[in-house]
Structure 1
């Protein structure tokens, strides 16, 4: 037998062993996730939620098993709905908020998974999250609830696909995001502005927002207020989303004419040069925006 033949046999043997190892790992993951989902369905949810949330980004099968396991979605919705009575008057405790956020993180996993995200949208389950985004209370228990809820919505719009954007537009997500941008802390502002940006990057979204002056004014005014927020609380991530929102709005002729008069002064006079630093992307978008507006 030649060297090459020996090498081929050795390679084939290693490949088979590697495949068996992968198969064994997948089987262990399947058993683990299925067991945790069963605990969740049986209303033994505390530890099941914690463990599922801890492995959700590392185990690919979590989202499909959550979606296709009979009773699992009902169990997750149970955790969400159970805290509705504590939203108004605002009596939500940290423990209640944390548990609901664990359930929301699993919804985010479903929303992020290619196999389940469209099914998740068609189920209208995201609507159950909207009451959390409507709250105005600024305690940590409410803020983390809004941040995690926004994370679920952000997962739906990452690809800017028409069906996801159209669903969000039809369910009035924009006022909820503007609300979070106005009252929230830095993380709320960043995620909600990211959602608005992704909607704007979709042609239907841009058309919808610029269709009436009232809609454009509502969006541009809140974004303008956040420019003022950056003067006191600098955030390069938030600035990036803000500049990109304005840059995209300028693609609409009517919005472009309006922005010539309403673009915040700090974006025109170099106020944020130190904050931008070496981030050439933001500087490029800002310069192109000013050129487009002839400012």
Structure 2
């Protein structure tokens, strides 16, 4: 009952929003122009905070006011539960955000991206992450293939701070997509170049970028379709396994538990596949077999259990893969 009332109220709100911010063509069909183009006509009971949010969204439509609006909305995105719905369903707003993203493509190669330009586009990306995170807009976000607009950013290699910030924020959008274990998301990503892009960042990015990139790969592996895809050919398995092994060798020096726990879980999930398990018996990095990481994992019981299970899987005592799934979540 409560859900029905909430849904009815939401429909009424959107209808009112369309009526307040649209024009009417023959046939009385409202054509929305953006949710705050006529804020004065909005509901008199609207809070000042919500009124400001709608004003900022309207300002996204104007190049002269967009930068300030992006900054303000990116700050408020966690505080406005329905912001994703308003952004998506407001005419022209998503196009404005994509325009911000496309506008910096010429600055990527050769590397001309300034800190100010990076901050501005990252504010736009933060709003896209808001849309990608929401259950009601995630599927629409995928259907429009919007993640593909981020891939040129993930494909950059400059180590400068503006580029690193751009890559990290772009990874955050993809991370928001995979966070809820949706097969629809995984199916979409597998039709794109996300795995090679993440693998490159896992090798050469900052620690934080590596962490988000391997989180995305881990989420893909946790899906049965994703695991089957990566283990379908030797080339795919080799690419993933090699990068994971290289990360292990780097972690021998750095001893970063945040990265190590994802590496262990990726190897554990790979061991659920019979062909991959056979290969890992030969090529699992030695530091995962001995006590190299015992000190860094001393206070991480969950990762220690995952590592122990991985070694059991690679012995002759193979257990039900369902047990591994429970350990990895």
TM-score by length of 1: 0.89
CA contact (8 A) 1:29 1:59 kept: no
Aligned equivalent of 2:144, options 105, 123, 147: 123
- Compared CA separation, residues 258 and 172, structure 1 to 2 (3 A): same
Structure 1 position 28, deviation (Å):
3.9
Q: Distance in 2 between matches of 1:144 and 1:24?
A: 41
Structure 1 position 132, deviation (Å):
0.5
Q: Distance in 1 between matches of 2:144 and 2:218?
A: 24
Which residue is equivalent to 1:226? 247
If asked which structure has higher relative contact order (CA below 8 Å, sep 6+), I would say 1
The aligned runs of 1:114-263 (5 Å cut-off) are 114-263=135-284
Question: Aligned pair 1:33/2:49, yes or no?
Answer: no
Unaligned runs of 5+ in 2: 1-42, 317-329
Give the secondary structure class of the aligned counterpart of 2:296: helix
Q: Deviations over 1:44-103 (max 9, x none)?
A: 112111111111012102111111111111111111011100100111111111111111
Which residue is equivalent to 1:10? none
CA contact (8 A) 1:33 1:65 kept: no
Q: Which has the higher helix share?
A: 1
Question: Aligned pair 1:94/2:119, yes or no?
Answer: no
Question: Aligned pair 1:73/2:94, yes or no?
Answer: yes
Unaligned runs of 5+ in 1: 1-22
Q: Distance in 1 between matches of 2:255 and 2:126?
A: 28
Q: Distance in 2 between matches of 1:230 and 1:162?
A: 31
Structure 1 position 290, deviation (Å):
0.4
Q: Distance in 1 between matches of 2:200 and 2:46?
A: 43
Compare 192-201 and 267-276 and name the one that shifted more: 267-276
Structure 1 position 106, deviation (Å):
0.6
Which residue is equivalent to 1:109? 130
Give the secondary structure class of the aligned counterpart of 1:274: coil
